[in-house]
Amino acid sequence: MSDDSKSNLKKRIVKICKKLHKKNMLAAADGNISYRISDEEIWITPSGVMKAFMEPEDMACINIKGDILHGIPSSEMAMHLQVYKSSQEARAVIHAHPPYAIAWTISHPNLKELPIGAMSELILACGEVPIVPFALPGTKEMGDNLLPFLPKNKVMILARHGALCWGRDLSEAHRGIERLEHSAQILTLAHSLGGVTLLDEPKLLALKNIRQEIVKKMGDIVL
């Protein structure tokens, strides 16, 4: 990748950080974004920097083994590395702290996935949204807990912590996290207004079939 392309990539990552911060998904120094240029270079947002004020030159660089090549990478890099190890297709990973998605895991501790049968959006966009069990911050367990869900799931909620989305490019990962939080917000409103109801079985089946057709044509994409 040329120096120009690297510089543009860092600027795009900064732009996404600012957008996520505006949408209340990155308080203070929360969250991290990474992009794999090659096995030798994974660019990742730095540790302890407020994403609202981050500059392109703050980005750190690691390799697939987790060796630090430049800067001070996020302490949550184990999750990013696990995604890249699970799929050659993975180029971008976004981890943020979307409040509505997290609130579902706090209020419903036994929930294994978001109740996506309530509406069509998430079924069509990504098929399902599993909830990954809680792990202590900064531990290897954060990455290990993702294993049962990779590479199948590109959109995941991390119990009592946040969400993690990945994709073939930055915009796919960004779409995943926006779609997830928007849907979690709708479900929260429905819950507060009296309860979440689900579509009937024939409609759910029809939606799952449409999703399968999308995957056949476009691969396992997040819309």
* Least distance in angstroms from the C-beta of 101 to Zn ion: 12
- Shorter beta-carbon distance to Zn ion: residue 79 or 207: 79
What DSSP state is assigned to residue 47?
T
- Shorter beta-carbon distance to Zn ion: residue 73 or 162: 162
Binders of Zn ion in range 141-170 (CB under 5 A): 162
What DSSP state is assigned to residue 44?
E
* Least distance in angstroms from the C-beta of 4 to Zn ion: 31
- Shorter beta-carbon distance to Zn ion: residue 162 or 167: 162
Residue with smallest beta-carbon separation from Zn ion:
162
* Least distance in angstroms from the C-beta of 137 to Zn ion: 7
Phi, psi of 9, rounded to the nearest 5 degrees: -60, -45
Pairing assessment for the beta strands 41-44 and 32-38 based on DSSP bridges = antiparallel
Largest CA distance in the chain: 54
- Shorter beta-carbon distance to Zn ion: residue 76 or 172: 76
- Shorter beta-carbon distance to Zn ion: residue 26 or 123: 26
Burial of 137 per CB tally in 10 Å (0-12, 13-18, 19+): exposed
User: Which residues 6+ apart lie within 8 Å of 124 measured at CB?
Assistant: 207, 210, 211, 214, 223
Alpha-carbon distance 121 to 109, whole Å? Answer: 24
* Least distance in angstroms from the C-beta of 95 to Zn ion: 6
* Least distance in angstroms from the C-beta of 31 to Zn ion: 6
Alpha-carbon distance 114 to 121, whole Å? Answer: 12
Give the tokens for residue 190.
């429905």
Which chain residues interact with Zn ion by CB under 5 A?
Answer: 162
